[in-house]
């Protein structure tokens, strides 16, 4: 199964994984053969990419970090929390909403603690218009995985998760034309955008069901170790660890998502960018804890090895996130290999490594034509 951007999807391709809308309703099930009309409809709904089953690695599963029902219910509750703020509805609605959010956070924490070996392959595929809420849940999940690796208690995880989930709530106070502007922001617009950190802090501080610590995450998630962040240009220890964790996973998830103004950055590129930030923008320990559970080469990625062989990524183990288990698909001279031989690249005697990732569709089509 592979992730394919919608512009590359062609009639006749088979859906590899159910395609859901932002409410969690299934639009097309796995196994459905796509028609021109289906593809057009997906495009018009703003679905940026889907999983397809094109015969290569069709038995490889891309596991979910949290089940869809938890993901969609938390997304729905965050969405209504945001809209209640916008219409300034009565306090009771917010209290009920916040209790639901708290329950959702506990569900996510329990789910993650039950599966300590989980590795994030890809954050989910979101429709562009639902970016905010999908992103909030992803940041929450990625922050929690980092917190679990750092050995945080359940109570600490809860404060981290609440702040991570609502880190951008202050954006409800920033004009839409600035939030959705495709081009570069003017200096004035950028200053208005930067205010979302303080706005978020104030909104959360006023809410009795949110701790000061969680509110602080909203205020400090754009601060950076070197003092080049905002709003207060804090440095090093002045930035709370939870805000640093949220800041770094926020960048990773934003990079790997499709946005209105640019397509997603490949996971391994985002992985390397985050690794380069260690010690500069974020504490190295926190970066390492985060990368421990994030696959640089998600399952289903096609790669070229140092031997010239072409392989598919089958699985990634925690702590070895740049050295997955791969299945050799083609020899160095392009002959198909059908014995499904799998190699863990972190195995002691293994001299193989990934030299490049195959992202070019035409290269891929050449490979596939050799199969038929």
By CB under 5 A, name the binding residues for Fe ion. 168
Task: Give min distance, CB of 218 to Fe ion, in A.
Answer: 8
Contact criterion met (CB below 8 Å) for 133 and 83: no
Q: Which is nearer to Fe ion, 53 or 168 (CB)?
A: 168
Q: Which is nearer to Fe ion, 150 or 166 (CB)?
A: 166
Contact criterion met (CB below 8 Å) for 262 and 270: no
> Can you name the residues that pair with 327 across neighbouring β-strands?
312, 342
Q: Which is nearer to Fe ion, 38 or 201 (CB)?
A: 201
CA 336 – CA 183 distance, rounded (Å)? 45
Task: Give min distance, CB of 92 to Fe ion, in A.
Answer: 28
Task: Give min distance, CB of 242 to Fe ion, in A.
Answer: 14
Question: Using CB atoms within 10 A of its CB, is residue 122 exposed (0-12), middle (13-18) or buried (19+)?
Answer: buried
Task: Give min distance, CB of 204 to Fe ion, in A.
Answer: 13
> Can you name the residues that pair with 20 across neighbouring β-strands?
26
- SS3 state of residue 302: strand
* Angle, vertex CA 268, rays to CA 274 and CA 57, nearest 5: 150
Q: Which is nearer to Fe ion, 220 or 323 (CB)?
A: 220
Task: Give min distance, CB of 222 to Fe ion, in A.
Answer: 6
Tokens describing residue 254 = 């934003």
CA 357 – CA 367 distance, rounded (Å)? 14
Q: Which is nearer to Fe ion, 149 or 167 (CB)?
A: 167
Using CB positions, name the residue nearest to Fe ion. Answer: 168
- Residue carrying structure tokens 């950028």: 190
Q: Which is nearer to Fe ion, 191 or 371 (CB)?
A: 191
Q: Which is nearer to Fe ion, 168 or 223 (CB)?
A: 168
Q: Which is nearer to Fe ion, 254 or 337 (CB)?
A: 254
Looking from the CA of 186 toward its CB, the CA atoms found within 13 Å total 3
CA 61 – CA 300 distance, rounded (Å)? 8
Q: Which is nearer to Fe ion, 197 or 301 (CB)?
A: 197
Task: Give min distance, CB of 199 to Fe ion, in A.
Answer: 10
Task: Give min distance, CB of 244 to Fe ion, in A.
Answer: 14
Tokens describing residue 344 = 């863990």
Residues 79, 85, 91, 96: what is their CA dihedral angle, to the nearest 10 degrees? 10
- In sign, the C-alpha dihedral spanning 328, 332, 334, 336 is negative
Task: Give min distance, CB of 182 to Fe ion, in A.
Answer: 18
The secondary structure element, H or E, covering residue 304 is strand 302-305
- SS3 state of residue 132: helix
Other C-beta atoms within 10 Å of 278: how many? 18
Task: Give min distance, CB of 115 to Fe ion, in A.
Answer: 28
Task: Give min distance, CB of 232 to Fe ion, in A.
Answer: 14
Q: Which is nearer to Fe ion, 168 or 253 (CB)?
A: 168
Which has the closest alpha carbon to 239: 219, 211, 214, 210? 219
Residues in the chain: 372
């Amino acid at each position: 199964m592979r992730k394919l951007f919608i512009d590359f999807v062609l009639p006749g391709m088979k859906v590899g994984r159910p395609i859901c809308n932002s409410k969690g309703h299934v639009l097309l099930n796995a196994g459905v053969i796509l028609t021109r009309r289906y593809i057009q409809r997906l495009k018009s709904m703003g679905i940026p990419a889907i999983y397809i089953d094109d015969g290569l690695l069709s038995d490889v599963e891309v596991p979910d970090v949290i089940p869809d029902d938890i993901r969609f219910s938390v997304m729905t509750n965050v969405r209504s929390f945001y809209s209640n703020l916008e219409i300034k509805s009565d306090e009771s609605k917010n209290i009920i909403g916040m209790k639901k959010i708290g329950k959702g956070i506990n569900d996510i924490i329990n789910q993650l603690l039950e599966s300590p070996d989980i590795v994030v392959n890809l954050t989910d595929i979101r429709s562009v218009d639902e970016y905010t809420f999908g992103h909030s849940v992803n940041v929450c999940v990625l922050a929690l995985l980092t917190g679990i690796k750092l050995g945080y208690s359940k109570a600490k995880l809860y404060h981290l998760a609440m702040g991570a989930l609502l880190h951008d709530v202050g954006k409800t106070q920033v004009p839409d034309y600035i939030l959705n502007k495709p081009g570069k922001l003017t200096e004035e617009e950028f200053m208005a955008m930067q205010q979302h950190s303080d706005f978020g802090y104030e909104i959360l501080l006023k809410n009795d069901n949110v701790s000061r610590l969680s509110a602080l995450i909203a205020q400090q998630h754009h601060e950076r170790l070197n003092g080049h962040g905002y709003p207060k240009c804090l440095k090093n220890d002045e930035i709370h660890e939870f805000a640093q964790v949220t800041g770094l996973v926020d960048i990773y998830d934003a990079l790997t998502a499709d946005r209105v103004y640019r397509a997603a950055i490949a996971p391994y590129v985002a992985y390397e960018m985050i690794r380069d930030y260690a010690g500069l923008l974020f504490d190295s320990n926190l970066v390492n804890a985060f990368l421990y559970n994030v696959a640089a080469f998600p399952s289903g990625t096609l790669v070229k090895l140092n031997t010239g062989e072409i392989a598919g990524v089958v699985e990634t183990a925690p702590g070895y996130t740049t050295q997955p288990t791969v299945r050799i698909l083609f020899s160095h001279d392009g002959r198909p290999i059908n014995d499904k031989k799998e190699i863990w690249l972190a195995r002691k005697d293994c001299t193989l490594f990934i030299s490049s990732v195959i992202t070019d569709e035409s290269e891929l089509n050449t490979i596939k034509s050799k199969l038929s």
